[in-house]
Amino acid sequence: MKKLIAGAILLTSSSMAFAAGNHGPAGCGLGSSVLFPDASKWYEHVMAATTNGTSGNQTFGMTSGTLGCQDANGPLAGGLAFIDNNMDQLAMDAAKGEGESLAALAEVMGIESQDTVAFNHAVQSNFDSIFNADATSGSAYEAMKAVIAKDASLQKYLG
Amino acid sequence: MRWSGILGLAMAAATVSLPLVAYAETNDLPDTNRLQAIADQTQWAHLLHYRPHPYTFRYESQNDSADFFLAEEGKTSLLAELTADLTAFMQTGMADNSSAQCQFPARYQWVKQQLPDIAFVDQPCSDFSQWESEIDASSLTLIFPAAHINSPSSMYGHTLVRMDREGKSSSKLLSYSVNFAANADPSDNELVFSYKGLAGGYPGVVSVMPYYQKTNEYQHLEYRDIWEYNLNLTKPEVDQFVRHVWETKDTYFDYYFFDENCSYRLLALLDASSERSDLAKHFKFTAVPVDTIRALDDAGLIDDTEYRASAASGLEYKRQQVSRQVLDTAKSLIDNEVDVERALAALTEQEQAQALELAHAYARYLAIKKKKDSPELRERTIKILSARSKRSIDAGFIEPPTPAIRDDQGHLSSRLGGWVGQVSGDGPITKYADLSLRLSYHDIMDLPDGYVPGSQIQMGQFDARIWEDGDIRLQRFTLIDVLSLSHQTYFQSPIAWAVTTGLERSLGENAELYAFLKVGFGQAYLTDWGRFYGLADVQLLADNQFDKGYQLSVGPRIGWLLQKSLVQAQIEANFQEFNVGDKTQRRNILAALGYKLADNVQLRLKAQLSQFEHDALTLDREEVSAGVQWYY
Domain range list for chain B: 2-124, 134-308, 322-389, 410-631
Output the DSSP codes for B487-518. Answer: BP-SS--PPEEEEEEEEE--SSTTPPPEEEEE
- Cβ–Cβ under 8 Å, residues B493 and B507: no
Give mean pLDDT, residues B425-454: 93
Instruction: Report the mean per-residue pLDDT for chain B.
Output: 89
Q: If we measure between CA atoms, which residue out of B580, B390, B632, B608 comes closest to residue B511?
A: B608
- What is the structure's pLDDT at B93? 94
Residues present in chain A in total: 159
- What is the structure's pLDDT at B161? 95
CA–CA distance from B216 to each of A14, A35, B219 (Å)?
22, 14, 6
CA angle B231, B107, B176 (to 5 degrees): 40
Tell which of B187, B198, B213, B214 to mutate to test the A interface (max A CBs under 10 Å): B213
CA–CA distance from A88 to each of A136, A139, B80, B382, B385 (Å)?
11, 14, 52, 10, 11
Q: Do B205 and A16 touch (CB under 8 A)?
A: no
- Each residue's pLDDT tens digit, B455-464: 998 889 999 9
Tell which of B144, B174, B246 to mutate to test the A interface (max A CBs under 10 Å): B174
Examine the pLDDT at A61 and tell me if it is beyond 50.
no
Q: Do B378 and A38 touch (CB under 8 A)?
A: yes
- Cα–Cα distance measured from residue B249 to residue B499, given in angstroms and rounded to the nearest whole number: 40
Q: Choose among B212, B252, B367: nearest Cβ to A85.
A: B212
In Å, how far is A153's CA from the nearest CA of chain B?
19
DSSP state of B59: E
Check CB contact of A10 with chain B, cutoff 8 Å.
Answer: yes
A63-77, B138-152, B191-205, B400-414 — which is least confidently predicted? A63-77
- Cα–Cα distance measured from residue B419 to residue B436, given in angstroms and rounded to the nearest whole number: 8
- The ipTM assigned to this model is 0.83
A51-55, B53-57, B139-143, B149-153 — which is least confidently predicted? A51-55
Residues present in chain B in total: 632
- Cβ–Cβ under 8 Å, residues B214 and B158: no
Residues of chain A above pLDDT 90, percent: 39
- Cα–Cα distance measured from residue A103 to residue A108, given in angstroms and rounded to the nearest whole number: 9
Tell which of B158, B192, B215, B389 to mutate to test the A interface (max A CBs under 10 Å): B389
Instruction: Report the mean per-residue pLDDT for chain A.
Output: 67
- Cα–Cα distance measured from residue B148 to residue B144, given in angstroms and rounded to the nearest whole number: 12
Q: Do B131 and A65 touch (CB under 8 A)?
A: no
- Cβ–Cβ under 8 Å, residues B88 and B99: yes
Strand, helix or coil for residue B403: coil
List chain A residues with CB under 8 Å of B132. none
Give mean pLDDT, residues B107-136: 93
Q: If we measure between CA atoms, which residue out of B600, B629, B562, B602 comes closest to residue B410?
A: B600
- Cα–Cα distance measured from residue B124 to residue B102, given in angstroms and rounded to the nearest whole number: 8
- What is the structure's pLDDT at A77? 61
- Cβ–Cβ under 8 Å, residues B293 and B156: no
Examine the pLDDT at B501 and tell me if it is beyond 70.
yes
Beta bridge partners of A16: none
DSSP state of B298: H
- Cα–Cα distance measured from residue B523 to residue B171, given in angstroms and rounded to the nearest whole number: 40
Tell which of A96, A112, A117, A124 to mutate to test the B interface (max B CBs under 10 Å): A96
pLDDT: which is higher, B202 or B136: B136
Give mean pLDDT, residues B549-575: 97
Give mean pLDDT, residues B465-469: 95
Examine the pLDDT at A104 and tell me if it is beyond 90.
yes
- Cβ–Cβ under 8 Å, residues B395 and B357: yes
Cβ–Cβ contacts within 10 Å for residue A74, how many? Answer: 9
**Which residue does chain A place closest to B375, by CA atoms?**
A38
| Start-end of H helices in B320-374 | 324-335, 340-344, 349-368
Q: Among A107-116, B4-13, B350-359, which range has the highest average pLDDT?
A: B350-359
**pLDDT confidence of A58, banded at 50, 70, 90?**
very low
Which amino acid makes up residue A156?
A: K
Residue partners of A47: CB distance under 8 A and separation at least 6? none
DSSP state of A73: S
Q: Do A127 and B386 touch (CB under 8 A)?
A: yes
- What is the structure's pLDDT at B153? 58
In Å, how far is A116's CA from the nearest CA of chain B?
12
- What is the structure's pLDDT at A68? 39
Q: Choose among B209, B251, B252: nearest Cβ to A62.
A: B209
Which residue ranges make up each domain of chain A? 64-158
Examine the pLDDT at B168 and tell me if it is beyond 90.
no
Residues of chain B above pLDDT 70, percent: 91
**pLDDT confidence of B595, banded at 50, 70, 90?**
very high
Q: Do B183 and A101 touch (CB under 8 A)?
A: no
- Cα–Cα distance measured from residue B602 to residue B566, given in angstroms and rounded to the nearest whole number: 9
Residue partners of B116: CB distance under 8 A and separation at least 6? none
User: What is B410-631's CATH number?
Assistant: 2.40.160
- Each residue's pLDDT tens digit, B136-162: 999 999 999 887 656 665 667 789 999
Q: Do A54 and B171 touch (CB under 8 A)?
A: no
Cβ–Cβ contacts within 10 Å for residue B67, how many? Answer: 17
CA–CA distance from B197 to each of A57, B112, B152 (Å)?
16, 38, 18
CA–CA distance from B360 to each of A19, B342, B387, B492 (Å)?
37, 17, 11, 13
